[in-house]
């Protein structure tokens, strides 16, 4: 019996070891359209199946995730159109991020919180700029404002604007 349990543990999907985080948010859209919002997720572990996962803001945004986020990769969730950000969208969603700020919560299929970002009033806790369309980016555990880098590592020279993820 012990050997069966040990073998079962060895063959568990590596996704249980994966670490998915919200790493960039274009809550303001871009210079083409305010509707071109997007959210980047980064998986720092092994490939993870996100079927049944939900990203929500408790206001007017609920995104149901499907698919697999590859190991050590970023994926971009785009609002309404694949034209919202360069590259192919991981998935398209409807709903909108409010410019007045929100708290984004990423939950796995069991409902457990995987990551949470407390944007604060006007996104003051994490940054982003509605005039320049610079996005809020998580760099080294600190939120910064910098030119958009959807699907790519953020610019490490970004200006610090906020605190670590909550």
The string of DSSP codes covering 74-132 is EEEEEES-GGGSSS--SEEE-S---TT--EEEEE-TTS-EEEEEE--GGGTTT---TTT
Q: What is the CA radius of gyration of the chain?
A: 16
Query: Quick one: pLDDT at residue 60?
Result: 84
Query: Quick one: pLDDT at residue 120?
Result: 96
Percent of the chain at pLDDT exceeding 90? 77
Q: Find where tokens 């012990």 sit.
A: 2
Please name every residue paired with 58 in a beta bridge, in sequence order, or none if there are none. none
Query: Quick one: pLDDT at residue 153?
Result: 59
Q: What is the mean pLDDT of the chain?
A: 85
> Could you tell me the pLDDT band of residue 152, with boundaries at 50, 70 and 90?
confident
Answer with the residue of higher pLDDT: 32 or 59. 32
Answer with the residue of higher pLDDT: 55 or 9. 55
List phi, psi (to 5°) of 68.
Answer: -125, 130
Percent of the chain at pLDDT exceeding 70? 81
Query: Quick one: pLDDT at residue 138?
Result: 96
Residue 61 CA to residue 96 CA, distance in Å, equals 6
Q: Span 40-55, mean pLDDT?
A: 97
Query: Quick one: pLDDT at residue 131?
Result: 97
> Could you tell me the pLDDT band of residue 166, with boundaries at 50, 70 and 90?
very low
Residue 159 CA to residue 76 CA, distance in Å, equals 22
Closest CA to 144 of 19, 21, 25: 25
User: The tokens of 18 are what?
Assistant: 């994966």
17 pLDDT more than 70 = no
Q: Span 153-160, mean pLDDT?
A: 50
Answer with the residue of higher pLDDT: 31 or 16. 31
CA torsion angle 112 50 109 61 (round to 10) = 80
Q: Span 107-130, mean pLDDT?
A: 97
């Amino acid at each position: 019996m012990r050997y069966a349990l040990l073998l079962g543990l060895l063959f568990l999907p590596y996704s249980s070891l994966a670490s998915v985080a919200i790493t960039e948010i274009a809550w303001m859209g871009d210079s083409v359209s305010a509707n071109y919002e997007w959210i980047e997720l980064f998986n720092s572990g092994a490939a993870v199946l996100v079927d049944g996962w939900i990203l929500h803001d408790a206001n007017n945004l609920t995104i149901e995730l499907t698919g697999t986020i590859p190991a050590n990769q970023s994926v971009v969730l785009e609002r309404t159109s694949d034209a919202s950000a360069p590259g192919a969208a991981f998935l398209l969603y409807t709903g909108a991020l409010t410019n007045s700020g929100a708290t984004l919560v990423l939950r796995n299929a069991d409902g457990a919180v995987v990551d949470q970002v407390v944007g604060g009033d006007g996104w003051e806790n994490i940054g982003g700029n509605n005039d320049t369309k610079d996005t809020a980016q998580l760099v080294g555990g600190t939120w910064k404002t910098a030119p958009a880098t959807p699907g790519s590592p953020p610019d490490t020279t970004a200006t610090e604007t906020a605190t670590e993820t909550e």
